[in-house]
């Protein structure tokens, strides 16, 4: 079964940027839908973005929390999926996860749909 590994989290000042990475050692991520979620303490896990597999049109969709400041992309050669986050705000502080449902095309961006998760990476936005 594919295992996902996130990296790139850390402490950033308000207004700053981060790029999170999602890898799947030993598996070809290009075949799978990859979504990004985040969960802040005491809050429900919320969907940020989803990117369809490279074997389809590779289309993306965004949840409300991801629109405008966040973008997701693939690097097929490096077998990686990224979440680019700009103009970060303190409310963006959360643990960020990548996930897949094993499918090819993004559908419903809700955590109940996805059954394979990474361990998460902490993002803290603070001055």
Rounded to whole angstroms, the Cα distance separating 52 from 109 reads 12
Q: Is the pLDDT of residue 114 over 90?
A: yes
pLDDT-derived band of residue 92, with 50, 70 and 90 as boundaries?
very high
pLDDT at 115: 95
Window from 14-18, 52-56, 89-93 with minimum mean pLDDT? 52-56
- 32 Cβ neighbours under 8 A, 6+ residues apart: 2, 24, 53, 100, 102, 103, 104
- Residue 54's pLDDT is 86
- Which H, E and C letters describe the chain, residue by residue? CCCCEEECCEEECCCCCEEEEEECCCCCHHHCCEEEEEECCCCCCEEEEEECCCCCCCCEEECCCCCCCEEEEEECCCCEEEEEECCCCHHHCEEEEEEECCCCCCCCCCHHHCCEECCCEEEEECC
Give the model's pLDDT for residue 55. 85
Q: Say what the pLDDT of residue 65 is.
A: 85
CA-based angle 60:108:102, to the nearest 5? 80
Write down the pLDDT at residue 77.
93
Q: Write out pLDDT tens, residues 44-81.
A: 999 999 999 988 888 999 999 888 899 999 999 999 99
Please say whether the beta carbons of 21 and 81 come within 8 A: yes
């Amino acid at each position: 079964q594919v295992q996902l590994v996130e990296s790139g989290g850390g402490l950033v000042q308000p207004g700053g940027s981060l790029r999170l990475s999602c890898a799947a050692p030993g598996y070809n991520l290009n075949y799978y839908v990859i979504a990004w979620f985040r969960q802040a303490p005491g809050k429900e896990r919320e969907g940020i973005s989803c990117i369809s597999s490279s074997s389809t049109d590779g289309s993306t969709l965004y949840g409300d929390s991801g629109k405008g400041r966040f973008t997701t992309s693939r690097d097929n050669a490096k077998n990686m999926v990224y979440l680019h986050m700009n103009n970060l705000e303190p409310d963006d502080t959360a643990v960020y996860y990548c996930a897949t449902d094993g499918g090819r095309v993004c559908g419903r961006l809700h955590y109940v749909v996805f059954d394979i998760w990474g361990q998460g990476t902490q993002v803290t936005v603070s001055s």
